[in-house]
Amino acid sequence: MTQPINCRFQEVTLDDVASLKGVAAVFVGSDRKLDACARKANTLSRKAIERFVQSDCFDDMKSGEAARLAYPTGLAVEAMIVVKLDRKPSQEEARKAGAALAKEKGAMHLTALAGTLGAVDDVALGLILRDYDFSDHKTASPKLRGDATFMVSKPETHDASKIAAIAEGVFFTRDLTNEPANVLTTTEFADRLAEMQALGLKVEVLEEPELRKLGMGALLCVGQGSVSPSKVVIMQWHGGGDEAPFALVGKGVVFDTGGISIKPALGMEDMTMDMGGAGVVSGVMKTLALRKAKANVVGVVGIVENMPSGNAVRPGDVVTSMKGDKIEVVNTDAEGRLVLADVLWYTQERFKPVAMINLATLTGAIIVALGHENAGVFSNSDDLCGAFLKAAGAEGEGAWRMPISAAYDKLINCRIADMRNTGGSRDAGSITAAQFLARFVKDDTPWAHLDIAGVASVSGATTLAPAGATGWGVMALNRFISDNYEV
């Protein structure tokens, strides 16, 4: 698994600047004024920093961008990185600056001369998150990734362990989502989650015999065409009092061929990311455990593989959910909602949560609607939805509320069963999927469904992640739980 680089905070010692090794960084605002750290480095480098700051190149830089001055005279470092950042930056600007540092420092150890710079923790988090590199399956030696030291005026006010907890949760989600399906089988996925018991989580793995006994016919039908056994994994964190837990539920389809309703070959290799919802739930639970969150949270994920075979579920088959509702499977590629139907019901029956959010790479339709900038948010509770959107906005993780209503619900009514698993056309595809899930949410349970198909994994680099899995949602949900459920 990919480990975040170590990041530590120490008191500024200007006398050590000349002898620093690796690379160093200074921060200069748009007013071009040098702080004490930058002035010291500038004097030692015979005013190289001042000359750069007065140049057109610095003028052309945007806030949070960085430039590299190689082998500055008078300093032992191989490069001095000049970051354009005001003394009181926004969170977005600070994280962008950290990401810029990650790209400029390469494999070297970085010493960031931050002094009294504001939002330093966000600079550090941006640096760590952008320094991610998934290279488990490359034969070349892994890319060296140097650690970072932030010289600050008050190191005791910075919490490196909290930053590390968030980064480890995000990296765990990214690694799970990036893994190929022949590595991350249903069994391997469950085993990796079980290993988190060492962090203080209580982890249970429900196997197929128990799932049959529970009546999870919707979930089990998805995986019946695969040789990999279907599983449900329950992760519990008890950090609060005696109150009922908040629940996170995730879709974990380790590979989705579409089943008998098979997908086109072009792009099918990307369906290793169809367990992204379960990946986010897992990453959040890891972060909560690492930072010892003072809340009760349960994460429940349904882990299956959707394959075509002589035993696969067919279009037109009718299956019975744990709730007891009968579902006509009109499209076997609308499988994620079948998995979630049973896991949502199980979570409510067993844990009676105070509220519940599920995550799933559920529909291509949400990408048509929102692209790759925002997840779709569907909810039966204005309060729950508003609180999540606030947390997502605070973390810079795009999310947009979408509608649900009885007018859409009629599209999944069925002639021969209680419902069918799709609306039968391209119209309102993400909404009809949400309407399907809503039938498995009890009236008294505040609930939100996050369709993350467009944001879980992307083809190009983002500000805080290289191409591939983003880890979207870990930071937003961690903040949401911190703001709303911690005692």
Q: Which residues belong to the active site?
A: 263, 337
At a CB cut-off of 8 Å and minimum separation 6, what does 401 contact?
377, 378, 379, 385, 389
Distance, in Å, from the CA atom of 232 to the CA atom of 301, rounded to the nearest integer, reads 6
Task: Assign residue 71 a region (left: φ > 0; alpha: ψ between -120 and 50; beta: otherwise).
Answer: left
- Put the strands of the sheet holding 7-11 in their side by side order: 7-11, 148-152, 110-115, 23-28, 79-84, 66-70
- Give Cβ neighbours of residue 415 (< 8 Å, ≥ 6 apart): none
Q: DSSP characters for 248-270?
A: EEEEEEEEE--TTSPPPSTTGGG
Compute the Cα dihedral for 380, 382, 384, 389 and give only its sign: positive
**Residues facing 357 on adjacent strands:** 248, 448
Ramachandran sector of residue 32 (left: φ over 0; alpha: ψ -120 to 50; beta: rest): left
Q: What is the C-alpha separation between 114 and 87, in angstroms, rounded?
A: 10
Spatial separation of the C-alpha atoms in residues 201 and 222, rounded to whole Å: 28
Neighbours of 256 (CB within 10 A): 26
Cα 422 to Cα 416: distance, rounded to the nearest angstrom: 14
